[in-house]
Amino acid sequence: MSASDKLFEIPARPGPYRFKPSQTALILIDMQRDFIEPGGFGEALGNDLSHLRVAVEPAQRLLAWARAQGLRIVHTKECHRPDLADCPPAKRERGLPSLRIGDPGPMGRILIDGEPGSDFIAELTPAPGEVVLAKPGKGAFYGTALGEMLQASGG
C-alpha cells in the first residue's frame, strides 16, 4: 500500500473522519482580492470586509496542512472574460452595487480574468502544480471541469 493509499484519520464530531489523501481534495473557494480587499467587488456590494478577513488565517492553516498531507489543492476564482460574453446581463445588473462586474475599479476591471482584482489574495496564492479553476458563476461545478477532475482522481 502506497502512502497516498493509506487511510488518514482526523478527529471530528460526531466521530472521526477517515479519508485517503489520494482521493481527497481541498477546494478553496474564491479567495480573491476583488472579494476580500478594499476597493474590490465585495466592498462595492456593501460587505463588511472584516467578516471576510477573519477566514484568511484559518484558511492558511488548513492549506498548509493539506499541502503537507499531499492532498490535491483546487483554488476557484469567480471571473469573466473581458468581453463579458460569459456574464449574463441579469447577473451584471443585479442589485445596486457602486461598481458592477466589468467596471473599472482600483484593482482593474471588477471580476475580469487576468485583472489584479481577480487574482488571489497574497496569503492564499496557489503553489505550482495546484489547480486554478476559473468559473463564470458562484457554483464551482457549473461551466467547469471540476466534477470530471474529481471523478478522475477517485474523489
Tell whether 31 is covered by a domain.
Answer: yes
pTM, two decimal places = 0.89
Q: Which domain holds residue 97?
A: 20-148
The Cα angle at residue 45 between residues 42 and 51, in degrees rounded to 5? 50
Give domain status of residue 52, yes or no.
yes
The domain that contains 124 carries what CATH number?
3.40.50.850
Instruction: Dump pLDDT digits (tens) for 18-63.
Output: 989 888 999 999 999 999 999 999 998 889 999 999 999 999 999 9
Does 11 fall in a domain? no
Q: Is residue 12 included in any domain, yes or no? A: no
72 falls within a domain: yes
In a domain, 153, yes or no: no
Q: Is residue 79 part of a domain?
A: yes
Q: Does some domain include residue 1?
A: no
Question: What is the predicted pLDDT for the residue at 12?
Answer: 92
How much is the pLDDT for 1?
Answer: 45
* pLDDT at residue number 37: 96
Domain tally, the chain: 1
CB 143 within 8 A of CB 135: yes
Residue-by-residue pLDDT tens, the chain, 155 positions: 455 578 889 899 999 999 898 889 999 999 999 999 999 999 988 899 999 999 999 999 999 999 998 899 999 999 999 999 999 999 998 877 788 999 999 999 999 999 999 999 999 999 999 999 999 988 889 888 899 988 887 65
Task: Report the C-alpha gap between 40 and 116 in whole angstroms.
Answer: 10
